[in-house]
Amino acid sequence: MDLQLAHQPAIIIGAAQGIGRAIAEAFAREGARVGLIDRDPRVSETAAEIAAATGATVVAETADVVSETDMQAAADSLRDRIGPARHVVFAAGVGSGKFGFPFTRVPPADWRRVLDINVLGAVHSAHAFAPQLIAGGDGGTFLFLVSVAGQIGSQTDPPYSAAKAAQINFMQCLARDLAPHGIRSNALSPGMVRTGLNQSVWAASQADLPEADRQDYPTWAGEKIRRVSPLGRWQEPEEFGATAVFLASPLARNITGQTLNIDGGQVMHS
Ligand SMILES: NC(=O)c1ccc[n+]([C@@H]2O[C@H](COP(=O)([O-])OP(=O)(O)OC[C@H]3O[C@@H](n4cnc5c(N)ncnc54)[C@H](O)[C@@H]3O)[C@@H](O)[C@H]2O)c1
């Protein structure tokens, strides 16, 4: 099926690895012109690998989403290299690196970095790219990678949960603000995806346990998935790629302001 994304500039932020990388691959396979942003300089290798595998134009910028200046410079540079952005995906994210139950285990000072990257990072990205979409005058989309944690008061990592809830609210704010320009804004919410971030949640949960109570990553993840997810299986990065290109396409022209859970049924909306 032709999703009509060919030659459209698509920006993926947090694309060096994990879910962001898979989304970048999906846009490249649709023939989009793809711009990757990550603070990890290996994002350039990722861009070269995706370009080689798909034949698409894929370029990269190294930038930290915490820096408004960095993000504006990356947005300006990518506009010059692949054209004004039409689709923007915010997939950068971090947890606190601590197990947060009860909440007093994560002191307020540890909240700042999590809020800076997840919340201010999303805000900086929207400020840097929205003017390009608006000036294009032909619609476009924003997509934010959020989390089930932002919808259920998860106790695992309170600053992360709060940041994800804020991202969902900001996504809805953009959906309303930008609708008159024909620009849509949505969120994808993963449950359990085998990535560096997911592994860091496991590592934090084991840190203070007595040796005898510790679990290896597959055992911990398997038990958690069976406990929380009706379908009882991992989600794969490629599933987010497939859904991201669908949401960017004209097939989704009436979908905005929505949080779509790809989580095996962990969170169900009425
Ligand atoms: N993996 C899961 O199980 C899971 C579950 C729920 C939500 N999520 C969300 O999905 C998104 C993608 O996560 P992932 O699992 O692919 O993680 P990941 O760690 O594999 O990838 C995250 C990417 O973001 C980049 N990044 C982090 N901080 C940055 C910064 N300050 N500036 C620029 N880039 C930065 C990293 O370098 C990395 O390339 C995140 O928003 C995460 O919160 C993941």
Whether 137 is covered by a domain: the verdict is: yes
Ligand 1 mutation target, pool 197, 229, 238, 240, most atoms within 8 A of CB:
197
Q: Classify residue 245: in a domain, yes or no.
A: yes
Could you give the C-alpha distances from 223 to 16, 219, 226, in angstroms and in order?
Answer: 29, 6, 5
Q: How far is CA 230 from CA 132, 225, 270, in A?
A: 41, 8, 16
CATH number at residue 72: 3.40.50.720
**In this structure, is residue 59 part of a structural domain?**
yes
- Predicted TM-score (pTM) of the model is 0.98
Which of 13, 93, 27, 20 lies closest to 61, judged by CA? 13
* Residue-level pLDDT at 208: 86
- DSSP label at 57? -
Would 209 be classed as within a structural domain?
no
pLDDT reported for residue 185: 99
Q: Which are the contacts of 87, defined by CB distance < 8 A and separation ≥ 6?
A: 5, 8, 9, 10, 11, 27, 32, 140, 141, 142, 143, 248
Active-site annotation holder among 99, 160, 170, 240: 160
Is 270 part of any domain?
no
How many domains does the chain contain in total?
1
Distance 137 CA to ligand 1 centre (A): 31
pLDDT along the chain (270 residues), means of 10: 97 98 98 98 98 98 98 98 98 95 95 98 98 97 98 94 98 98 98 96 92 95 97 98 98 98 95
Pocket test for ligand 1, best of 46, 156, 195, 225 (most atoms within 8 A of CB): 195
Which residue range is the domain that position 14 belongs to? 9-194+236-261
Question: How many other C-beta atoms are found inside a 10 Å radius of the C-beta of residue 31?
Answer: 18
CA distance 144 to 122: 8
**Any domain includes 205:** no
160 is catalytic: yes
Task: Identify whether 217 is part of a domain.
Answer: no
Instruction: Determine how many CB atoms are found less than 10 A away from the CB of residue 182.
Output: 16
Q: Are 99 and 204 in contact (CB under 8 A)?
A: yes
**Confidence (pLDDT) at 270:** 84
Structure tokens at 230: 């009706």
- Residue at 177 is within a domain: yes
Give 155's contacts (C-beta < 8 A, 6+ positions apart): 100, 101, 102, 103
Q: Whose CA is nearest to atom 44 of ligand 1?
A: 190
Is residue 195 lining ligand 1, measured as CB closer than 6 Å? yes
